[in-house]
Structure 1
């Protein structure tokens, strides 16, 4: 029977009998029970995990606000991928609108009508409701269509991998069927109720209804078809609800929970090893070693492949795909829980382990995977735990073992005696102050490479000249300085790292100073974010040298006026300075202060591509298709706006300098570009000014010394 309504509204269960309504409610109750039980099982499994090293639930309201902002704004989906950001925003906002709309309708039917005997689902409210639902529902369908196009027509490479399976197809196609099916139902109802005039607000459904009408569909046929269409739609929708906890749709819950419980310093600092843990228990020995947050990480992964797309190890042909590592752990846990597999090593060099040792050795600890992950998976904590296991079982590469032994015996990775650490100062015509013997403003932690590596000693001398010229109160630890331990920790040598923290902290505590300044971003990161975790008294202000020198230049204490040199350069953001600690502008301001024209590479700031030296990369040997340093130099010369005009490749990290000097040779770029540190560039600018007749505070005496300020 066709129902003609006199005011804007619609019958919710049109053509559905009271028995049909009862059956629907029974199925809905079953779906909800299955859903709730599935969610409970998931979270109960997390509760079986180990206690996490960090407090994940402090300031819970603030965490929820942050997570809501990140999730609702889709800000991480838009990063590096405008298409993906628009697609996900359409799907998310459309889905939430449809969910909220369905909830409002349920409130009206099941509560408001029963209490008041009336409905608020009429008049202007109904018209507004219908328009918003049609508009946002349309965006939902468009978004899902974009996802289908990218996955099946374009076949976006990062969406496919060994963990891509049937559940991915079922998920995306179910969303599409539900979205399109809703409009088809709406169109059948509009035709069947003979086009009520107010239904034009449901513009998508109305347009489809006009199409049905033009094709000859009668009101009676529409009414006949509506019943099976409605039930098909209802069963699919309720099946989807029940299906959520069992497969990929669960990421809608686990991802939000993961963002809520994220560590704001994840990757910058790593979880420690409990003091009472024996060597046999260090690292991932079994799936039970994962903390509840690490278990949640594995469920939060949406297989989007963003981490895979930005991983420099994967791009270089190394056997690491960050997504696969996380999903390998998930699959192993699920199969173990279900009794479908036997227990094996999580990480080992060969054999039947979940993850192969070579995979973990490939990681550069650059944190690009974590920065790109839209759901805050903390890959680096998993990778470090596996590296610790390799360390404890003696499965590290021989060059890494040698470097660790050198650090243990001599306090540096080169194996040179500690007494040679200050030898870089010998070519300076002034004495570098000893912070152990006099009070200073800045305790300068020089680092291994600027102290022992001849190439990087030039950086240390350049920085010393700048400090001397600007009249900075500074001093160094001389032979009492030891390796900072940042990369020692990231290759898995936690015990050695703890020893270094203890020794360096003791030496630093014995000095009188106000602030610490580091040459190396790796030292800067671990002093700033990790030492205080082990030594609460290590609460000093910590700076990278570019931050300090930028202040000196801004205050006019160095004497640059921005016209000293005029060639074109590009700048590489070091991972530990930029992506780890958000310092992007100070080095750039220093480059500009020299008068050099800065041409940005396409991948810059948080999107910077790692040099390959982090995470022990300086000490390892890999078979690679193209070294990360070679790829980065190619990008500098071919992909920047300035192209081949780029003359110098500017760095602000000794490890980067080392890797790129090697990349120049192996990539055959020696005649094309020069590697230069920011400190060296500043000294070159000062020498250029002097050569052009400059004087005063900016004057330098020659290539080995610095003149005094007037």
Structure 2
């Protein structure tokens, strides 16, 4: 009779062989599991309220944020970054799990809402039959199979090939619990389905449940009869149900919570995180600056800690970790999380968040190691904002007088002389004396382009060649430009990132006053670090809030001047590779302008294996230029090795092209210490362009090229 009923109606009995009492127990356990889940999840989210207020808007335009987060999470686009197999694996798990959840919800709607409503009106009906049931069964079996396959790949990568980035000191029971529980739930569902199909005599329409049908065939081949299947089914069904309830109730207790916290983290992300840093409140006392207690972190930063999935993607791309410095961005986030949980549970005593030696959650050497390159944030699939938290800890070190001596010296140089070298301000424009043309003074005349030269191109002998070559390009293009001569001061980008917020704000005030005394339309920077802070951070302090002044890196400006420079793209015949500076590429998404200019010179460009957003930091950011840290291999040396061994051209690469003065300094040093002096030359992009302009043998004026050389006063 059961077989005939199912064949006639094309459906299945949800509580087959469970009975009314079993059904009541099921609903009771489901309610308990959901109540436990709700209470624990509420406690988890309520904990964030103990954190400080976040300085940036996180919940504005909430609808737009949720839609955008749904797209990011639903497409799994960030999981595919740098790891296609991992992305595919996660997509299978995510979409399989989501489909099974939706399928369970549909079944509950039919049984607990639709059937009861129709029964109240006299005729109990169900939409869980016929064509709907067949479609439902096919989709659930197909997506469930992807779910199990994805989890099998996860288990293989974790336990068979032992993917290195998945294992560290924070790897533990909760990691195994998540993946094994999901795998057992996925496989268990098919076992229950297979036993049901066998126990109901293989109804022909159940072939749409192709995985369950295959399992039923295997059971039958193994000797299980229909009667045996009917006897075993309740045990299998209850085992699967109880396992599901335990998992649901336990989600807020450990790693499974990332399924909720990660989505919340993507919803509340700041798209400019790290690119611009949060300000210190005006009324903050020295003891309140930086993170000294776990609740000094904002509620969003506490959410960051809980969103971490321990995937190790941030660790695998961190140049500090790769060089042997004592920094693993994942462990910093997880150390903070573990300390919070242990302190809340009374398992540990209160201690400083960061200190130089002694007992603290994070050691100062760890934060000194950070290059502020943002590779960790770019690689993170759940938008954890590492750099902003690292900055908060650096600020605490600074305010408590625990800054490295060499960094303190650089800060004092800036405070006294306006530059990190400590040289007199009057020497800043000395490099112009070697040119055979005049460099205009933007303090004395209106210009189209105010050129902010920067510390290294002004004072460092090697980088002065960058300044001279760029001046040559502006001169050849006959553009209206000028510099600030000895009034120019350090921009403050890296000073801010080592935690010296007070000095940074002083520089902002001085530089803004200087800019406002000049008449210009366009601010152009030699250094991507200057470009970043002028463009993204100075507006937070009231300058250029409405973008009335265009801020550019020199490569973006020179790209527009190519017609005026007379380049024909065939002058030079070098085999080169190009290094993407972090502050130009990863921070500000400028990848094409430098490459376009390299091609304009006629050079044969070969890409580095790690390029664009995946570029590997030179080691100079975040104050790295002012520190002498122990390293197994300098990032600059590793990068040069990569250029000569891993590019398509290999050892045929003649020139390593950079577009950042800090990169120039780091790579010239790495060239010496790494023994690459005879193998490769470090060259600034502006130097390459100036050589190409000279090689072209023509000086094309702006008027010849159809470009305007008028100053704002002429307009």
Counterpart residue number, 2:17: 15
TM, length-normalised to structure 1: 0.97
8 A Cα contact 1:187 1:205, kept in partner: yes
Counterpart of 1:599 in 2: which secondary structure? strand
Q: From 484, 491, 495, give the equivalent of 2:498.
A: 491
Counterpart residue number, 2:35: 33
Q: Distance in 2 between matches of 1:433 and 1:686?
A: 21
1:281-327 CA-partner distances (Å, limit 9, x unpaired):
11111112011001000000000000000000000000000000000
Counterpart residue number, 2:634: 627
Q: Distance in 1 between matches of 2:599 and 2:578?
A: 11
How many Å apart are 1:479 and its aligned residue?
1.1
Please say which of residues 84-93 and 4-13 is displaced more in the overlay: 4-13
1:536-572 CA-partner distances (Å, limit 9, x unpaired):
445421000000001111xx10011110011210000
Q: Distance in 2 between matches of 1:406 and 1:156?
A: 46
Q: Distance in 2 between matches of 1:396 and 1:629?
A: 24
Q: Distance in 2 between matches of 1:115 and 1:61?
A: 32
1:599-650 CA-partner distances (Å, limit 9, x unpaired):
0011000000000000000000111000000000000000001101100000
Q: Distance in 1 between matches of 2:437 and 2:694?
A: 18
Q: Distance in 2 between matches of 1:696 and 1:30?
A: 81
Structure 2 residue 476 is matched with structure 1 residue 469 = yes
Structure 2 residue 219 is matched with structure 1 residue 217 = no
How many Å apart are 1:252 and its aligned residue?
0.5
TM, length-normalised to structure 2: 0.96
8 A Cα contact 1:488 1:497, kept in partner: yes
Q: Distance in 2 between matches of 1:686 and 1:518?
A: 21
Counterpart residue number, 1:697: 700
Counterpart residue number, 1:231: 238
Identify unmatched segments of 5+ residues in structure 2. Answer: 119-123, 703-715
Q: Distance in 2 between matches of 1:154 and 1:567?
A: 42
Q: Distance in 2 between matches of 1:495 and 1:663?
A: 33
How many Å apart are 1:688 and its aligned residue?
2.6
Counterpart residue number, 2:552: 543
Counterpart residue number, 1:190: 197
Counterpart residue number, 1:285: 292
8 A Cα contact 1:259 1:375, kept in partner: yes
Counterpart residue number, 2:694: 687
Counterpart of 2:565 in 1: which secondary structure? coil
Structure 2 residue 378 is matched with structure 1 residue 361 = no
The aligned runs of 1:558-577 (5 Å cut-off) are 558-577=565-584
Structure 2 residue 374 is matched with structure 1 residue 371 = no
Q: Distance in 2 between matches of 1:125 and 1:503?
A: 70
Counterpart residue number, 1:455: 462
8 A Cα contact 1:686 1:698, kept in partner: no
Q: Distance in 1 between matches of 2:66 and 2:444?
A: 50
Q: Distance in 2 between matches of 1:114 and 1:574?
A: 64
Counterpart residue number, 2:90: 88
8 A Cα contact 1:466 1:683, kept in partner: yes
Q: Distance in 1 between matches of 2:619 and 2:99?
A: 45
- CA, structure 1 residues 696+405, in 2 after alignment: closer, same or farther (shift >3 Å)? closer
Counterpart residue number, 1:72: 74
Q: Distance in 2 between matches of 1:561 and 1:28?
A: 73
1:496-526 CA-partner distances (Å, limit 9, x unpaired):
0000000000000110010100000000000
Q: From 142, 149, 153, give the equivalent of 1:146.
A: 153
Counterpart residue number, 2:705: none
Counterpart residue number, 1:517: 524
Q: Distance in 1 between matches of 2:62 and 2:457?
A: 43
Counterpart residue number, 1:257: 264
How many Å apart are 1:43 and its aligned residue?
1.2
Please say which of residues 30-39 and 650-659 is displaced more in the overlay: 30-39
Counterpart of 1:98 in 2: which secondary structure? helix
8 A Cα contact 1:592 1:598, kept in partner: yes
Counterpart residue number, 1:702: none
Q: Distance in 2 between matches of 1:492 and 1:333?
A: 23
Q: Extract structure 1 runs of 4+ deviating beyond 3 A.
A: 1-4, 536-539
Please say which of residues 442-451 and 61-70 is displaced more in the overlay: 61-70
Structure 2 residue 304 is matched with structure 1 residue 297 = yes
Q: From 327, 333, 356, give the equivalent of 1:349.
A: 356
8 A Cα contact 1:560 1:698, kept in partner: no
Counterpart residue number, 1:176: 183
Q: From 411, 435, 452, give the equivalent of 2:418.
A: 411
Counterpart residue number, 1:703: none
Q: Distance in 2 between matches of 1:566 and 1:536?
A: 44
Q: Distance in 1 between matches of 2:32 and 2:9?
A: 35
Q: Distance in 1 between matches of 2:84 and 2:420?
A: 43
Q: Distance in 2 between matches of 1:357 and 1:537?
A: 35
8 A Cα contact 1:2 1:192, kept in partner: no
Q: From 53, 56, 66, give the equivalent of 2:55.
A: 53
Structure 2 residue 102 is matched with structure 1 residue 100 = yes
Paired residue total? 693
Q: Distance in 1 between matches of 2:403 and 2:335?
A: 21
How many Å apart are 1:22 and its aligned residue?
0.6
Q: Distance in 2 between matches of 1:19 and 1:8?
A: 26
Counterpart of 2:429 in 1: which secondary structure? helix
Counterpart of 2:450 in 1: which secondary structure? strand
- CA, structure 1 residues 421+132, in 2 after alignment: closer, same or farther (shift >3 Å)? same
Q: Distance in 1 between matches of 2:230 and 2:512?
A: 80
Counterpart residue number, 1:705: none
1:680-707 CA-partner distances (Å, limit 9, x unpaired):
00111122333xxxx35299xxxxxxxx
Q: Distance in 2 between matches of 1:522 and 1:144?
A: 43
Identify unmatched segments of 5+ residues in structure 1. Answer: 700-710
1:226-278 CA-partner distances (Å, limit 9, x unpaired):
11110000001011000001110000000000000000100100011111111
Counterpart of 1:75 in 2: which secondary structure? coil
